[in-house]
Amino acid sequence: MELLWIPITIAAALFRNIDRPSAARFSFLLSTPAIAGAGASALHHLIKQGGIPEDMRIPFVVGIAVSGISGCAVIAFFLKYLQRHSLRCFVYYRLIFGIIMIALALFRRPAG
């Protein structure tokens, strides 16, 4: 959920007449402290709960490494994509997602 504001910050930068690649780069840099804070909080809770079991330490480190590498690859792809393409598909995605979220909120049954 931490990355939901990235399209919003990109849109805000575009409204300020910043080019697409710079807006995306700024948005990802802006998200870095929040993501680092969420990771630090999760690590704190993990340590507080007793840490990582002995048999899960290697898979844990491998998971972090794979996540970091795939995240960097996706960001690099996205920045290259924005140099040649518009954000139109992301606008449609946000509109459809927003409509779904509003519909879910309206038709959700109250608990009880």
DSSP secondary structure of 53-106 = -GGGHHHHHHHHHHHHHHHHHHHHHHHHHHHHS-SHHHHHHHHHHHHHHHHHHH
* Cα torsion through 11, 80, 62, 1, rounded to 10: 10
Give the pTM.
Answer: 0.64
- Res. 71 pLDDT band, cuts 50 70 90: confident
pLDDT at residue 8 greater than cutoff 70: yes
pLDDT tens per residue, range 22-51: 888 888 888 889 888 988 999 899 999 998
- b (16+ CB within 10 A) / e for 86-105: ebeebeeeeeeeeeeeeeee
